[in-house]
Structures are given as C-alpha cells and as structure tokens.
Amino acid sequence: MTTDQVIDEFKESGALLEGHFKLSSGLHSSVYLQCALVLQYPAKAEAFGRAIAERYVGQQIELVASPAIGGLIIGHEVARALGARFIWTERQDGEMILRRGFTVRAGERVLVVEDVVTTGGSTRETVAVLQALGANVIGAASIIDRSAGEANVGVPRTALATLNVPSVDPAQCELCKRGEQATKPGSRKAIGSKP
Ligand SMILES: [Zn+2]
C-alpha cells in the first residue's frame, strides 16, 4: 500500500480534511485527521492492518499492544494478520498502564501499534510500560505519522504514510494572520442524531 493510496482512503472517508483547524491540543493546523472515520469501515481497517503486518512478517511478533482508544481497531487488525495476541494499555489518572488482567511474558516479542503518531507520546508510554514488564519491544507502527518522521518512541518505528503537517500555536498561525477562521471538526453532533 503506497502513501497515496493511504491518503486517498482517508480522503474518501472524510478522515483527512484540508483547511484551517483548531486541534484538540489547542494548536492550529492546515490538516485535520480523524482516523475513526476511515476505521469505521472494517474492510479498510483490515487492509491497513495487513499492510502494517507485511512489514513485520518473519520477525516472530507474538503480541501486538496498542494505546487505547486510538490504537484499538488497527492494533487488533495487525494482530489478526500476524496471528499474534492483542492487548491494550490505557490511562488511569493520567498514567498509561495495563489493566483487565492483561500480562506480558519476559522476552515476549511485541509490536506496538497506533492509528496516528503526532508527538509519539502514547506509543512511547506504551513501549515503556511493556519494557518495564520485561517484554522485547521489536518496534512501533502506525497508519499515519504526522510528525514528518521526527517522533521518537524509543524503538524503531514505521508508518504507512508520513505527513509533514506542522501544528502551530495560534499566535504563530499563518492562516489566522490572513484572517481565516479556524474550525474544530468533530465538535458538532451529526445532523439527524438523536439527542
Ligand atoms: Zn490558525
């Protein structure tokens, strides 16, 4: 799967919008990504999962682990394609942890999978949790890397598509300087949804 194919799938699903956006971080960007909109189609999720898995064939991945919520669907599909087990980490009081009785064997070969890497924070924390439990974290993968390849998660990292779309402080935003109003996608309820 090429970068262009990945981007086309996102655009078709409305998961990648171009314009002037206020992100949940408060920063402004000309690109808005909402992976959930493409991953709502299981066939697309499966195809992305297979494409990521292909890069790790032969690396004896025994376990795929993802930070919830963003990594759940794609991580599960990667695990299915690799014939691996799948677990997730989640935040409790701000700290990324393993819950629900999930365990990791010492030396278990793990791939960490996220939907989008922006700063790499969630992936990095998940890698650290697994390493602290003795796992052998082979690498980390995402569908999209919007850090232009810059995010460091502590292990080798790959992405199906790497974008260079800076997120900037509103005070430094060129689009704001031109007087264009930033919008916040996803903040409106869908028309026709029940109250
Ligand atoms: Zn702006």
Is the per-residue pLDDT at 192 higher than 80? no
Is the per-residue pLDDT at 189 higher than 80? no
pLDDT at site 139: 98
* Residues contacting residue 3 through CB under 8 Å, at least 6 positions apart: 160, 161, 162
Is the per-residue pLDDT at 165 higher than 70? yes
Distance 123 CA to ligand 1 centre (A): 27
- Per-residue CA distances from 114 to 68, 127, 181 (Å): 9, 11, 31
Distance 175 CA to ligand 1 centre (A): 5
User: Model confidence at 24, in pLDDT bands (50, 70, 90)?
Assistant: confident
Average confidence (pLDDT) over 14-28: 90
Is the per-residue pLDDT at 191 higher than 90? no
- The closest of 7, 108, 109 to 58, measured between CA atoms, is 109
pLDDT tens figures, 136-147: 999 999 999 998
pLDDT tens figures, 92-136: 999 999 999 999 999 999 999 999 998 899 999 999 999 999 999
Distance 105 CA to ligand 1 centre (A): 46
Distance 67 CA to ligand 1 centre (A): 29
Distance 165 CA to ligand 1 centre (A): 13
User: How far apart are the C-alpha atoms of 14 and 123, rounded to whole Å?
Assistant: 25
User: How far apart are the C-alpha atoms of 118 and 68, rounded to whole Å?
Assistant: 15
pLDDT at site 156: 97
Average confidence (pLDDT) over 27-55: 95
Distance 50 CA to ligand 1 centre (A): 36
Is the per-residue pLDDT at 58 higher than 90? yes
Distance 121 CA to ligand 1 centre (A): 24
Distance 5 CA to ligand 1 centre (A): 28
Distance 162 CA to ligand 1 centre (A): 22
Question: What is residue 168's DSSP assignment?
Answer: B
pLDDT at site 74: 98
pLDDT at site 195: 46
Is the per-residue pLDDT at 193 higher than 60? no
Average confidence (pLDDT) over 20-33: 89
Average confidence (pLDDT) over 163-182: 92
Distance 178 CA to ligand 1 centre (A): 9
Pairing of strands 85-92, 95-98: antiparallel
Distance 154 CA to ligand 1 centre (A): 32
